[in-house]
Amino acid sequence: MQVRGAPLIGVAGVYGVALAMRMDASNDLLDAACAALCETRPTAVNLRRRVDQVRDVLIDLKPEARAERALQLAHQIAEEEVGLSQRIAAHGLALFEKAWHRKGERGRLEVLTHCNAGWLATVDWGTALAPVYLAHQKGIPVHVWVDETRPRNQGYLTAWELRQEGVPHTLIVDNAGGHLMQKGEVDLCIVGTDRTTAFGDVCNKVGTYLKALAAHDNKVPFYVAAPSSSIDWKIRDGMTEIPIEEREATEVHELSTNDAQGRRSVRVTPEGVNAKNYAFDVTPARLVSALVTERGVCPATAEGLLSLFPEGHR
Amino acid sequence: MQVRGAPLIGVAGVYGVALAMRMDASNDLLDAACAALCETRPTAVNLRRRVDQVRDVLIDLKPEARAERALQLAHQIAEEEVGLSQRIAAHGLALFEKAWHRKGERGRLEVLTHCNAGWLATVDWGTALAPVYLAHQKGIPVHVWVDETRPRNQGYLTAWELRQEGVPHTLIVDNAGGHLMQKGEVDLCIVGTDRTTAFGDVCNKVGTYLKALAAHDNKVPFYVAAPSSSIDWKIRDGMTEIPIEEREATEVHELSTNDAQGRRSVRVTPEGVNAKNYAFDVTPARLVSALVTERGVCPATAEGLLSLFPEGHR
C-alpha cells in the first residue's frame, strides 16, 4: 500500500520489472518478478495487464537487452497512461457539459465521487477526476462532494488534490451521499475502476456499489471512468470472477492523523473488537449509466465495450 | 449530544421538564422549558411526543402540584420505554427465529445493524438490539455486523454493548455492508428509527437508506424496530416532512480516540477543507420489509400501522 490507484499500480509494477532486470535479466527472475509483483494486489487488473505486456516483449529478447528495453517500456507505458487520462477527460467533459446544460446552466454542477481517482492514483490527470479538472478549466462551475472513503480515507487525497486545482468541494462521510441524492443535491456521480469486466461490471473501492444503488434509485447518472487498461476481457461476471482483496483489520481499528503533533495512528474502535476489511466491491453493469473510456463513452454492456474496442474479442 | 438515542432523548426531555418545575412551576416556565427542550433535537419525534404528553398533564394542575407530578410521570415514562423495548424484543424474536429456520439452522444467523439502538440509546434493552439480545439468550447463534457509523462512530457503542452481552460481532466500515449482502453474508438487517411516518417511512441515522437499498437489491429482509413513541401520526412523507438535523462539520473533521493517552480528538481531514454533516436520512417505506413495534410486526404502510394502532387515526 505504498502505491495506490489502479493505473499507477500498473505503471509502478512495470518499473518494478525494469528494476528486477537490472539485477538479473534471466528468464527465471523475469518470471519470478512478474509473479511476485502481480500477487501484491489481486483486485486491480492493470497491474497484471501491464506486467504481462512487458514480460511478453522481454521474454523474446536476449537477457542482455532486457534491462534497457524494460525501462523504455516503463516510460512508454507511463506516457500512455497520461494519454488515456487526457482522452478520458475529453470524453467525460461531453457528459459534464450535457448535465450542465440539462440543469439550465444555473447554480453549480454537483458531482459526487468516491475514493481517489485523480492524479495521485494515476500518472497525471486521473480517471474519474480528469473530466472534473477539464470541466473546471472550461468554466463549468463544478462542485465535488468528496466521500471520506473509510477505512483509508482516500477522500483526504481527493480533497487535497481538488484544493490544489482550485475546484470547489465539500467532504462528506460515506453515509451521506444517499441523502444528498434524495435531496437533488447531486447531478452526476463519477468514480474510477480497479477492474471492469467484458460485460461492464465494475470493481472499485468498497462502498461504490452503495452509491450506485442510490444514484439508480434517484435517477442520478452514475459514470465510471474506465481506461482500457482496467478492462479484463477474460471475465464476464464481476461478482463471481473478481477476487476481492481483504486487508488488515488494522485499517478499520486505526486512523491516521496529521496535525501539529505530526503524522500518527490513533485507535478508533474498542479494544478486543473484531473487524473485517474488504477493500473493494462490485457494481453490477445494470447500475452503471455509462463507461468513459479513452475511445469514447459507451453503455456498460458487452456490445458497448466491443463497439469501442473490437479487439476485445480476441 | 450528551444524550443520544431517540427513546432515551424522549425520557431525558421529560426529566428536564421535571427539573424545570422544581425551579419554577409557572405556566410561563412550563411552556418555555418544553419549547427549549424540543428545539434541541429536531429530527427524533420521541422528544416532542414525550414532552407534549407531560405538558398536557401539568398544564391542568395547580403550579404547586407540578414538580412532584412531573417527576412521577418521568419515572413512569422511563418504565414504559423499558416495556416497549421488551415487547419489541419478543416480536422481533419471531422474525429472527423465522430467518434462522429459513437458513436451515446452520452456521450463524448473520445480522447487520447501523448506528446504536441498544441499551445505550434507550432506558434498557434497546430497540434494534433488543431482539438480538433475546435471540442470543434463546440460543440462536447470532453474529452481528456492526456498521462503524461515521461521523460519530456509534458502532463503537454497539460493539461495546454486544461485547458486554457476549454476543459475537464484527465491526465493519459503513462502505462494506453492500458487499457483505452481495456475498450472502447477511441474513437480515435491523435498525432503529428516530421518526416513523404514518405511512411507514423511517428516518434514522444517516446511511440507513444506503443499507436499505442494498438489502432490497439482494433480497435481504430489512427490519426497523419502531416503538410507537417514534411514530409521528401527523406526517406521511418522510422525505419532505421530516427536518434533517445538520450538525457541526467538526464531527467530520475530528474523531475521538480513547487509548493509553486518554480520550481526545484528532483531525482526520486536510486543513481548510469544507465538510457537511447531515445526521439522518429517510428510508422510504417501500424499502422496509416490516416494522417491529411493541404491539407486533406489521408492513411499513398506513394500513399496517393502523391495524396495530387504530388510535393513530385520531
Chain B: residue whose CA lies nearest to A282 = B179
Q: How many Cα atoms sit within 13 Å of A133 on the Cβ side?
A: 22
B-chain residues near A171 (CB < 8 A): 252, 269, 273-276
Distances (CA, A) of A53 to A197, A232, B156: 19, 13, 46
Q: Where are the alpha helices (DSSP H) in B61-205?
A: 63-102, 129-137, 155-165, 177-182
Contacts B268 to A, Cβ<8 Å: 153, 156, 255-257
pLDDT of residue B53 exceeding 90, the answer is yes
Instruction: Give me the pLDDT at residue B256, please.
Output: 77
Measure the CA angle with vertex A146, ends A264 and A148; round to 5°.
Answer: 35
Amino acid letter at A135? A
DSSP per position, B216-266: HHTT--EEEE--GGGEETT---HHHHSPPPB--THHHHEEEEEETTEEEEE
- Amino acid at the residue B95: L
Query: Is B131 exposed, middle or buried, given 0-12, 13-18 or 19+ CB atoms closer than 10 A?
Result: buried
CA distance A107 to chain B (A): 18
The DSSP call for residue B189 is E
Q: With beta carbons less than 8 A apart as the criterion, state whether A81 and A122 touch.
A: yes
A102 CB-near residues (< 8 Å, 6+ apart): A187
Give the model confidence (pLDDT) of B228-287 as tens digits.
989 999 999 999 999 999 999 999 999 877 777 777 788 889 888 999 999 999 999 999
* Integer Cα distance of B114 and A118 in angstroms: 31
A-B Cβ pairs (cutoff 8 Å, strict): 184
Measured distance CA(B300)–CA(B200) in Å, rounded = 4
Determine the Cα–Cα distance for residues A181 and A189; give it in Å rounded to an integer: 10
The residue whose grid cell reads 426529566 is B15
Residue at B12: amino acid letter: A
Helix (H) or strand (E) holding A126: none
Q: Which residues contact B19 (CB under 8 A, 6 or more apart)?
A: none
- Class of residue A74 by CB neighbours under 10 A (exposed 0-12, middle 13-18, buried 19+): buried
Name the one residue in this structure whose C-alpha cell is 442494498. B214
Per-residue pLDDT of chain A (314 residues; tens, 9 = 90+): 788 888 999 999 999 999 999 999 999 999 999 999 999 998 888 999 999 999 999 999 999 999 999 999 999 999 999 999 999 999 999 999 999 999 999 999 999 999 999 999 888 889 999 999 999 999 999 999 999 999 999 999 999 999 999 999 999 999 999 999 999 999 999 999 999 999 999 999 999 999 999 999 999 999 999 999 899 999 999 999 999 999 999 999 998 777 777 777 888 898 889 999 999 999 999 999 999 999 999 999 999 999 999 998 77
Q: Cell numbers at residue A240, please?
A: 463471481
Helices within B103-222 (DSSP H only): 129-137, 155-165, 177-182, 208-217
B282–chain A nearest CA distance, Å: 7
Q: Is the pLDDT of residue B215 over 90?
A: yes
C-beta neighbour count of A29 within 10 angstroms: 17
User: What is the reported pTM?
Assistant: 0.94
How far is A210 from A207, CA to CA, in rounded Å?
A: 5
> Which chain A residues have a beta carbon less than 8 Å from that of B176?
206-207, 276-278, 281
Contact A270 B180 (CB under 8 A): no
Residues B238-254, buried b or exposed e (16+ Cβ, 10 A)? beeebebbebebebbbb
Could you tell me which chain A residue has the CA closest to the CA of B276?
A: A172
Q: How far apart are CA A155 and CA B218, in angstroms?
A: 28
Asked if B259's CB is within 8 angstroms of A266's CB, the reply is yes
Type of residue at A146: V
CB A281 within 8 A of CB A208: yes
What is the pLDDT at residue A263?
A: 76
Report the residue from B148, B182, B217 with minimal CB separation from A150: B148
- Region label for A113, one of left (φ > 0), alpha (ψ between -120 and 50) or beta (otherwise): beta
